[in-house]
Amino acid sequence: MSPILTPEQAAAVTPAATDPALIRNFSIIAHIDHGKSTLADRMLQATGVVAPRDMRAQYLDRMDIERERGITIKSQAVRMPWGAPGPDGAIRPYALNMIDTPGHVDFSYEVNRSLAACEGAVLLVDAAQGIQAQTLANLYMAIEGDLAIIPVLNKIDLPAAEPERHADEIAALIGCGPADILKVSGKTGAGVPELLDRIVEAVPAPVGDPAGPTRAMIFDSVYDTYRGVVTYVRVVDGALKPRERIEMLSTTAVHDLLEIGVISPEPSPTGGLGAGEVGYLITGVKDVRQSKVGDTVTSAAAPAAEPLAGYQEPKPMVFSGLFPVDGSDFPVLRDALDKLKLNDAALTYEPETSVALGFGFRCGYLGLLHLEIIRERLEREFNLDIISTAPSVVYRVTTEDRAVHTVTNPSEYPEGKILDVQEPVVRATILTPSEFVGTVMELCQSRRGTMQGMDYLSETRVEMHYVLPLAEIVFDFFDALKSRTRGYASLDYEMDGEQSADLVKVDILLNGEKVDAFSAIVHKDAAYSYGLKLTKRLKELIPRQQFEVPVQAAIGSRIIARETIRALRKDMLAKCYGGDISRKRKLLEKQKEGKKRMKAIGSVDVPQEAFIAALGADNPTGKDGK
């Protein structure tokens, strides 16, 4: 076991003095719940950067929503000193820059950016569960980035752990021997010092030109209410010093560098950042658009000629409208989305209007969990009450005149005869115990899936490959998969182009008027069940009016489902007792005429609660109506 550095040695690991040969940049990648954040906690303790009295579980998960849900949403960078034998055998002070990454497929863009700032990756696998779908996805991402892979089995202290069996699986996957796989426990800290030694030994030192023009890559940024934009960078060439003027190459904006430092694990100002180092910059900038993730930071005095490669822009997979319940909150929502966009580069949005909901934004997300997190952060951090419309994906619709329309919202669906509709499809990888193969195949076929192949990873675990329409998996596919396999199956997916599909637009009419917020694009075979389900739900949610209100579902001009909300009716005959029947008939006819006239000119009052209840439910889009 390597000794923890003395305070004097740890102090020697300063950015101005650190030799690039003594720096190691690495990420921890794994499937959800395989123990990344817990292992990061033990590393912080083993290196002594967090005092025992300050230690808490999930130390690097800063947001309340992360701590409540027990998931990592934002990747976090932290610098740790560690003493390990150098090439000459003497103990040398190394600086380890660790980036803890999310595990959920919706946040794989965060992982992608984090890996680009590293030379190595710790591949963490739960010793009880083994390799999962997202483990494979993150591994392939790391291999594409040419990173050194350190395979590690975590949770070896669990009674259900089978480290030998899962070590064989990992060894077969990455081509190493089972003896090369480290065994650690994020809970007890067993094996963590050996892992830190292996990181020093296996991860290469960063390569850069310390004397060249300064180039630093922005891999993340956050908005601080008091200090403005805090930018996280990885310095590739040259060095950055406090108080120098820096330039952003993409925007050519010039700023004064007010503060520069490292996260260890709290922000610590230092004398600068050298080649290969990871740290943060504060320029006092309040405009969130001036610190773009993937941009190159250089010195304004001697700027670099070529920017760094940057990152591939994330493509939104799911779209949903966000509207404030109180229309006067629209400017607050716009500012809130501006700030979240800085913190979450995968979020896209543009203004839109709805007849029913007023002014809002059409937002693009990487998945349904991403949508849920954004909505919850807007409500918590900015005190906004929000209605979100039913999620939809991007379709390409070709009309009879050969014009091609891009449809992100059902209200954009063109009228008239449709020649072809192209919907996005994904290539899904499902890992499941072999006993559930039939169940998974049945589920995928009900969601219009096409099987591409099946591989047995071991006697009890199967890897299945399917091509599925994206619209079929963004709603409740993951929940259905988990419930049908008792929680043992795992899912990962990536975009795989488009396919032609038999889709139609279902409109909801109230008193003959279309309500755009309730429109949806669904498969033709599911249209009737969707219309029937939503009309029944709206009949229960919309309060009775002074006149009868028909609630109809229609495809074009053809009505496919109808429910009727009965009118509120005053007892006109209360004062009539006995006497001539013609008087009663006259009163009822008079009431009938009044109701008819009111229906012709009256508008249906749909309360906000009805929108929230109808749009918040899992609306069916699949062929099986689920």
What is the CB neighbour count within 10 angstroms for residue 626? 18
SS3 track for 95-144: EEEEEECCCCHHHHHHHHHHHHCCCEEEEEEECCCCCCHHHHHHHHHHHH
Q: Confirm or deny that 564 is annotated as ligand binding.
A: no
Q: Confirm or deny that 156 is annotated as ligand binding.
A: yes
Q: Confirm or deny that 34 is annotated as ligand binding.
A: yes
- In angstroms, how far is the first alpha carbon of the chain from the final one? 55
User: What gap in Å lies between CA 371 and CA 317, rounded to an integer?
Assistant: 11
User: What gap in Å lies between CA 241 and CA 274, rounded to an integer?
Assistant: 9
In terms of residues, how long is the chain? 626
Q: Is the dihedral of CA 256, 262, 268, 272 positive or negative?
A: negative
CA-to-CA dists, residue 382 to 324, 333, 339, 340, 345, angstroms: 12, 8, 10, 10, 19
Q: Confirm or deny that 602 is annotated as ligand binding.
A: no
Whether the CB-CB separation of 387 and 615 falls below 8 Å is answered with yes
Whether the CB-CB separation of 190 and 217 falls below 8 Å is answered with no
Q: Confirm or deny that 157 is annotated as ligand binding.
A: yes
User: What gap in Å lies between CA 238 and CA 260, rounded to an integer?
Assistant: 15
Q: Confirm or deny that 446 is annotated as ligand binding.
A: no
Whether the CB-CB separation of 596 and 545 falls below 8 Å is answered with no
Structure tokens at 25: 């940049």
Q: Confirm or deny that 344 is annotated as ligand binding.
A: no
Residue among 236, 308, 312, 228 nearest 279 (CA): 236
Q: Confirm or deny that 61 is annotated as ligand binding.
A: no
User: What gap in Å lies between CA 64 and CA 77, rounded to an integer?
Assistant: 18
Write out the binding residues: 33-38, 154-157
Write out the binding residues for GTP: 33-38, 154-157
